[in-house]
Amino acid sequence: MKKFVVSLALACCAALPLQAYARDLPDFTELVEKQGATVVNISTTQVIKGRRGGPQFPFDGDDATQELLRRFFPGQIPNHPGVPQEFKNRSLGSGFIVSADGHILTNAHVVDGADEVLVKLTDKREFKAKVLGADKRTDVALIKIEASNLPVARLGDSVKLKVGEWVVAIGSPFGFENTVTAGIVSAKGRSLAHENYVPFIQTDVAINPGNSGGPLFNLKGEVIGINSQIYSRSGGSMGLSFAIPIDLAIDIQNQLKAKGKVSRGRLGIGIQEVSKELAESFNLGKPQGALVASVEKGSVADKAGIEVGDIILKFDGRVVNESADLPRMVGSTRPGNKSVVQVWRKGTTRDLGVTVGELADEDDNKTRLAGRSGKPAEPQAANRLGLVLAVPTAEQKRALGIQHGLIVEDVKNGGARSELRSGDIILSAIVKGSQTDIKSLAQFNDMLQGVEKGGAMTLLVRRGDSQTFITLKSPSDK
């Protein structure tokens, strides 16, 4: 009997921490009950027309198989007499209602190219939707259905969102409607490759194909993001999902509703991240800001006096911590606005006034760099850093649009520790914040002596149709 009492007491003691732990866990039931009806399922159809004279169907020579396919798959045999050469591509996504009269937010990629957009509500009603506008740069789209008195999602403030906070996603992963998943905010302001205009919210919420365009809620039941992308090697959730902040999405929505398109500011510059080595080369106390690698001739930046080698530290009073911050700041500025750009130049800061230009609908940086033409000068032997350099001929200078520089013919034996490649053009060198144009091999080799003794030097390099800064280090620093 004593053993039984002791065992019961131990079991009760063990259950107490579990009960306390359970009480500390968030309860999502009320959130889902109140906000679940604001989430919709979106299915799209795109008609893909086949090409005449395409490859033969694999069973063209087998009459028995052809007859079997005709009986069990009528109208689906390609290149068969009387069968239209087209098929329908269908896809699924999610969205959420932002007005009682039927405005819905979703992802641009969900409705991109669709011939028909069908919206299904939680009460099983279905509506054909009209796409009012889509912005591919932020992946936000606004669609409209003809309905009234619809439940509307509560919109929150993504700026107030904190890392570690609980969040909930509702959507249709793989077509499973109104699926609820939960997790925490893993990071804010995340930059993704080729996504310059969105400071993504990263979460570990289970997001899968079909969740795209659905809402991300905080525990107050407010939408603080639109689920947009996942990082996955398998195609399914791996605990890395990314949402568009609702503050950005609302701005895009308002512009799409008013004009059907989005206007963005631009400066007309090429920028790159400021590494520790680059910060040292420009005598900047710490790696920060956006390094200007190129300035378009005649652009608003050119007119404002922004120069290659400037490091932009602030835009309109807002600190540029890393290069990815600048496109978002400029892009969110209305064209025509007058702004102040603070730059770091030759060891000091200066403020420059600029009237923000407008970013074209399509990528407007289509400048082509003329290819190397004419017979190049005889390349020199590799220097002690493994660089084989050549002076461009007059014909090459005209074709490349340069007045000075050296062509990198080869990088041998690993070369100096840098990212230099064959075909790069070295335009200038920066040492202790001072920039010098490179005009001859002798001049460049003299400047290399500091690198050969274990130092470093930053180079302005033309590569293809862009420019970049590269730090050249002594091989001994590897």
* pLDDT at residue 398 in the model: 76
Q: What is the arithmetic mean of pLDDT over 268-280?
A: 90
* pLDDT at residue 79 in the model: 52
Per-position DSSP letters for 419-465, written without gaps between them: ---TT-EEEEEEETTEEEE---HHHHHHHHHHHHTT-EEEEEEEETT
Please give the model's pTM, rounded to 2 decimal places. Answer: 0.69
Higher per-residue pLDDT: 201 or 373: 201
d(CA 79, CA 94): 35
pLDDT tier, 94 (very low <50, low <70, confident <90, very high otherwise): very high
Q: What is the arithmetic mean of pLDDT over 33-59?
A: 74
* pLDDT at residue 87 in the model: 63
* pLDDT at residue 11 in the model: 57
| Residues 109-166 pLDDT 10s | 999 988 999 999 999 999 999 999 999 999 999 999 999 999 999 999 999 999 999 9
Dmax over Cα atoms in the chain, in whole Å? 103
Q: What is the arithmetic mean of pLDDT over 300-329?
A: 93
Instruction: Please tell me what DSSP assigns to residue 175.
Output: G
pLDDT tier, 439 (very low <50, low <70, confident <90, very high otherwise): confident
| Residues 214-265 pLDDT 10s | 999 999 999 999 999 888 766 677 889 999 999 999 999 999 999 888 999 9
Is pLDDT above 70 for 347?
yes
Measured distance between the N- and C-terminal CA atoms of the chain, rounded to whole angstroms:
73
pLDDT tier, 65 (very low <50, low <70, confident <90, very high otherwise): low
Residues recognised as catalytic: 109, 139, 212
Compute the chain's Rg from CA coordinates: 30
* CA proximity to 120, closest of 99, 150, 159: 150
Ranked by mean pLDDT, the top range of 127-141, 394-408, 442-456 is 127-141
The average confidence (pLDDT) of the chain is: 82
* pLDDT at residue 422 in the model: 79
* pLDDT cut 90: percent of the chain above it: 47
Q: What is the arithmetic mean of pLDDT over 417-434?
A: 80
* pLDDT at residue 383 in the model: 72
Higher per-residue pLDDT: 378 or 385: 385
